[in-house]
């Protein structure tokens, strides 16, 4: 395995840069005036702090799942630690997701390593969600919301004579999938220096649904003497992951320097909605930041370098297919390898111009390189000759592709009166992309023709993008606040969207980052997407915001040059009831919806403690205006309600999750309709001094359901083939179309966390 480490040059430049800032700060220390506290961020960003995150972590190895209770958020299913958040109908590359200030990019043709998969839930200290109209200072190269995730802030000793020594140990067990995990952290600090280590590991076998979900396949899959997946087990859902972070921080007066070194190792992660599985993911991160308060305002700077080495192939559930024989046939593997190199720099300044006006200015630069190659793969016939169409060459999917982005932004926030506040922002961005020449597995007509055309084309592209945001807040009274605004957001295509080149059926099958089972080919001529969004939020609450509150947010987005899909008819005609081969095109789309959330303190009952109720409801509707088709992966009407009781150290919660039927589906992608369902979850915790115990039952009534955003179920069988049609698993051994990924059945969990 290739060892990854932060670039020595990046380390040297980053340290020199931060040392220079510290040196320049030295003459300002006597005159520091901190004024930023006068301003309330606009727009208000729903978020999660340490106390809110704690009960969400137990039994949960997936950091994206921490966002599940935030208004407008739903999760697109993937691997056990790699689900992707969807916010108001937009997800994946269309969101701006920052992890400790780093803009991470999924280095995978199937997006198996999305940004939030690089931080373990036990190491998440804060989450902020900027939905609706996001300010330009937190969003760029994206269409929708911005999600900002941070690890815990550094802690320092309050007394020079008594160093701070603290730590935390945690462990959990979940019955469904025999899942378990452990995490540990330790901090050693004095008044000026802080050193923190955090580490975690988690693993799970395949999880089980509430009942069998492939009745047509049972006759084949349960034959005596064969290896099979039981009817209620969701194949290719196992995983194992390991994360480590070392954080060093130094503070001096109003200046803070922090350095984080991160390492991730995932030896395997199955994907029930992908043709491939992850067989290794290794990532190394270097992240250096500076924050300083000066007489003129606040300065933030960050430099980071992240390298990912990613491998895909088939895990056991996809290595076997059954055909018409009584014994399973093991197919040749299909190795796919990826290397991503991501370097970024960000500088932002907040400058109070007066008691009324605050100016934010800054810039970002991101330098990204991606190579994606597939070593030759073959079987042998009875005479020992190589067979198959995937040799003798290495297939070059992306050859040293580059995507460089440079941004400048300015933002003016004004407090006109105690009741009125406005925010105006502008961001200009240049995205430059290119890639090297490619080749297929061999010189067959399809590979040779596609490669020759691609290599002869001008592959260099430069997009000049412009983002705008305009927001206003009106505080009508201590019990009413209203916010509204407009934004113009732009996103350039990803490297995979522009540069995947082969129309060979097998190659197209391996390029799928949307989990729908189809095959895809990119488009050199794609234009950047441009979203025009209007959003309004009404927030009603009691004066102290502690007894009751309700927040309503309707929104509307019109997206020019929306990157959607159409049939690649030159490859094979698209027909309903099977997986198809699609190409990417620009069209026009519109998305609208609303989010409603609230809470209420219900009062005290003698001997039973206090009771409270909270909940949220979301609806989104998306259509392609050119074709009239529904957009893919739109979450149907859904709601969560939780009744919470507290007594002493006890907290007990009964949660209901309600999801309506998904009938509005993307016909061109063959998206599967799913029935409505309701789930009950029971959660309890007890805290005593520095010990916390969590236990509960997820899906209390063992309800069978399909998650609307779970994707197509292709977790077992001959997954390289798109020949399977509805209810034909037994006869073809290719994954049949028409099955969604089932949700998890009843699961008991127990976790303990100890602080010292």
CATH classification for the domain delimited by 8-493+528-562+590-755, as one of 3.40.50.880, 3.90.1150.10, 3.40.50.150, 2.40.170.20: 2.40.170.20
Q: HSE on the CB side for 148, CA within 13 Å?
A: 17
- C-alpha dist (Å) from residue 573 to 90, 581, 640: 29, 8, 42
For residue 84, what are the β-bridge partners?
76
- Which of 21-35, 127-141, 159-173, 372-386 shows the lowest per-residue confidence on average (mean pLDDT)? 21-35
Q: What are phi and psi of 725, to 5 degrees?
A: -115, 175
Structure tokens at 519: 């095959």
pLDDT at 313 over 70: yes
Average pLDDT over residues 312-322: 80
Summarize pLDDT for 559-605 with one digit per residue, the tens.
999 999 999 999 989 988 889 999 999 999 999 999 999 999 999 99
Model pTM score:
0.91
Instruction: Verify cis geometry, omega within 30 degrees of 0, for the bond prior to 43.
Output: yes
Summarize pLDDT for 206-245 with one digit per residue, the tens.
Answer: 999 998 876 444 433 333 333 445 579 999 999 999 999 9
Query: In this predicted model, which residue has the larger pLDDT, 2 or 476?
Result: 476
The secondary element (H helix, E strand) that includes residue 221 is: helix 218-221
- Provide DSSP, 253-314: TTEEEEEEEEEEEEEEE--TTSSSEEEEEEEEEEEEEEEEEETTEEEEEEEEEEEEEEEEE-
User: pLDDT band for position 728 (50/70/90)?
Assistant: low
């Amino acid at each position: 395995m290739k060892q990854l480490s932060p670039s020595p040059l990046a380390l040297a430049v980053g340290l020199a840069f931060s040392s220079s800032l510290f040196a320049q700060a030295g003459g300002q220390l006597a005159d520091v005036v901190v004024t930023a506290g006068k301003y309330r961020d606009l727009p208000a960003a729903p978020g999660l702090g340490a106390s809110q995150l704690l009960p969400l972590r137990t039994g949960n190895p997936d950091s994206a799942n921490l966002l599940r209770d935030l208004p407008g958020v739903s999760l697109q299913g993937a691997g056990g630690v790699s689900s992707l958040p969807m916010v108001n109908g937009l997800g994946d590359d269309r969101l701006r997701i920052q992890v400790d200030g780093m803009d991470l990019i999924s280095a995978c043709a199937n997006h198996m390593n999305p940004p939030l998969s690089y931080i373990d839930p036990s190491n998440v200290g804060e989450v902020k969600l900027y939905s609706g109209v996001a300010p330009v200072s937190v969003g760029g190269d994206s269409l929708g919301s911005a999600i900002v995730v941070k690890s815990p802030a550094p802690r320092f000793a309050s007394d020079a004579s008594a160093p701070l020594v603290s730590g935390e140990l945690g462990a959990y067990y979940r019955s469904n999938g025999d899942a378990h995990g452990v995490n540990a952290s330790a901090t050693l600090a004095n008044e000026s220096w802080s050193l923190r280590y955090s580490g975690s590991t988690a693993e799970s076998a395949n999880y089980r649904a509430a009942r069998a979900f492939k009745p047509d396949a049972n006759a084949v899959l349960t034959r005596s003497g064969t290896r099979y997946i039981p009817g209620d087990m969701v194949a290719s859902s196992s995983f194992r992951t390991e994360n480590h972070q070392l954080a060093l921080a130094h503070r001096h007066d109003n200046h803070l320097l922090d350095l984080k070194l991160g390492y991730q190792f995932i030896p395997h992660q199955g994907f029930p909605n992908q043709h491939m599985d992850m067989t290794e993911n290794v990532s190394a991160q270097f992240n250096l930041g500076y924050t300083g308060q000066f007489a003129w305002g606040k300065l933030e700077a960050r430099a980071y370098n992240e390298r990912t080495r990613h491998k895909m192939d088939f895990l056991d559930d996809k290595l076997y297919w059954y055909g018409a024989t009584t014994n399973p046939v093991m197919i040749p593997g299909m190795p796919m390898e990826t290397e991503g190199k991501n370097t970024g720099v960000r500088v932002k300044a907040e400058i109070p111009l007066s008691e009324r006006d605050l100016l934010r200015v800054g810039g970002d630069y991101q330098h990204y390189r991606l190579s994606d190659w597939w070593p030759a793969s073959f079987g042998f016939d009875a005479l020992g000759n190589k067979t198959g169409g995937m040799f003798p060459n290495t297939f070059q999917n992306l050859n040293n592709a580059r995507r460089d982005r440079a941004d400048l932004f300015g933002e003016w926030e004004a407090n006109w009166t105690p009741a009125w506040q406005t925010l105006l922002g502008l961001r200009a961005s240049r995205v430059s992309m290119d890639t090297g020449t490619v080749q297929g597995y061999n010189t067959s007509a399809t590979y040779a023709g596609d490669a020759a055309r691609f290599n002869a084309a001008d592959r260099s592209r430069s997009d000049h993008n412009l983002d705008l945001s305009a927001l206003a807040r009106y505080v009508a009274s201590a019990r009413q606040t209203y916010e509204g605004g407009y934004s113009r957001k732009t996103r350039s295509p990803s490297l995979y969207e522009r540069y995947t080149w082969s129309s060979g059926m097998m190659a197209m099958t391996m390029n799928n980052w949307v989990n729908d089972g189809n095959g895809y080919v990119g488009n050199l001529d794609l234009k950047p997407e441009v979203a025009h969004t209007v959003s309004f939020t009404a927030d009603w609450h009691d004066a102290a915001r502690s007894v009751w509150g309700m927040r309503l947010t309707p929104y509307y987005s019109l997206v020019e040059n929306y990157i959607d899909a159409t049939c690649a008819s030159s490859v094979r005609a698209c027909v309903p009831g099977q997986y198809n081969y699609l190409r990417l095109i620009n069209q026009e789309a519109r998305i609208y919806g609303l989010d409603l959330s609230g809470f209420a303190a219900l009062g005290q009952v003698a001997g039973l403690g206090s009771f409270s109720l909270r909940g949220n409801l979301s609806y989104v509707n998306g259509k392609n205006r050119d074709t009239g088709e529904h957009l893919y992966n739109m979450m149907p009407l859904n709601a969560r309600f939780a009744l919470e009781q507290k007594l002493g150290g006890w907290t007990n919660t009964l949660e209901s999750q309600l999801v309506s039927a998904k009938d509005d589906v993307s016909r061109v992608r063959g998206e599967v309709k799913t029935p409505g369902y309701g789930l009950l979850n029971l959660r309890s915790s007890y805290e005593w001094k520095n010990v916390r115990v969590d236990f509960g039952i997820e899906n209390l009534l063992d309800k069978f359901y399909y998650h609307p955003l779970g994707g197509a179920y292709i977790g077992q069988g001959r997954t390289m083939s798109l020949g399977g049609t509805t209810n034909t698993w037994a006869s073809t051994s290719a994954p049949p179309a028409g099955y969604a990924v089932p949700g998890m059945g009843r699961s008991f969990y127990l976790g303990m966390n100890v602080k010292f």
